[in-house]
Amino acid sequence: MLNKNVFGTPVWSFLLPIAACLLLAVVWDRPLGWVLLGVVVLALFASVFAAVHHAEVIALRVGEPFGTLVLALAVTVIEASLIVALMLSGGEATSALARDTVFATVMIICNGVVGVCLLLGALRHRVLEFRVEGTNPSFSVLATLATLTLVLPSYTVTEPGPQFSTSQLVFAGLVSLALYGVFVFVQTVRHREYFLPIEGESEEPHVPTPSLTVAWTSLALLFLSLVAVVGLAKSLSPSIGAAVENASVPHTVVGIAIALMVLLPETWAAARAALRNRMQTSFNLALGSALATIGLTIPVVAATSIALDLRLDLGLADKEVALLALTLLITAMTVSRGRATVLQGAVHLVLFAVFLFLAVVP
């Protein structure tokens, strides 16, 4: 029976992550034909659905905002591991990989994910409400970390080019990690109530709290699902790269495509929350993911580059700095009122379209 449970988990959510990881082992570092390409794409989306399911099970057990934090941290840890692995194998050719990935993630989340959530939620509920005391502090940390790690390296003079010196890199990594740690403490302990959904507006049906066994099983399956998502996205990158070469567009499009696929679990979970009138949960997922990407990835790649003497380019070019500045400005205006309509969603999606268009036609 399809609805029969295995360790308290639906059969499909138990089998899909395992099958996807087995497929990943088969296709890893192997060229994909048309048949395998289709199978990998289907497995990728199946892994996304499984990851979101298990993240929601964990959220039901531990409560908000811990549930959204688990998904954000899991995706970021695996993504950071993938970046480090590519840096180690690619050498100088991957010196800008961390910068491009972090920038793409911030733009995708702040414009694409937030825009989709606002648009879908507002079309269904007209006006969306969320807690300013939760979104504003999250965004202030994001703006600080993004400026420190993506903008300042282009303006410092100790090292030529868009790089930090070793001491500057150590400082930036420690500050990023410390500030993210303070954010997590505030979100989960000191002012947890600021990040809870507004009462009385959610369409979330009452669901029994999962047992501890079910929660631990879902945590393990969530990890397997996210390994499959990131690994299958990496396996698809050569095919995407070949398509990019044939289309004669910049190679950075490959990084954006991979980032889009890796962020699918959070995007799907955030959109579902917005449709249920839980915009605070959507913002917890979106802003929390962007913060985790910078606060965890930058220290990891900084330590790797210092330990192995690898070149690390962090500073953005002028065009990207302008897009980042505009994104931060618009996002600040969106989260500062505690209410949003379809107009804010449209603005964010237009910015997302501009980001994608200029990546293809620079």
> Is residue 172 within 8 Å of residue 149, measured between CB atoms?
yes
- Provide the pLDDT for residue 52: 73
| 71-80, 153-162, 287-296: least confident range | 71-80
Q: Who has greater pLDDT, 205 or 60? A: 60
The tokens describing 33, both together, are 């034909």
Per-domain boundaries in the chain: 79-206+236-360
244-258, pLDDT tens digit by residue?
667 676 767 766 877
- Provide the pLDDT for residue 294: 87
Task: Give burial (CB, 10 Å; 0-12/13-18/19+) of 197.
Answer: buried
129's enclosing H/E stretch is strand 128-129
- Provide the pLDDT for residue 241: 64
Is pTM beyond 0.85? Reply is no
Nearest alpha-carbon partner for 278 in 45, 46, 56: 56
311-361, pLDDT tens digit by residue?
888 999 999 999 999 999 999 999 988 899 999 999 999 999 999 999 888
Nearest alpha-carbon partner for 279 in 75, 71, 104, 134: 134
> Is residue 192 within 8 Å of residue 65, measured between CB atoms?
yes
Task: Give burial (CB, 10 Å; 0-12/13-18/19+) of 307.
Answer: exposed
Distance CA 345, CA 218 (A): 32
SS3 220: helix
- Secondary-structure class of domain 79-206+236-360 per CATH: mainly alpha
124-147, pLDDT tens digit by residue?
999 999 999 989 999 999 999 999
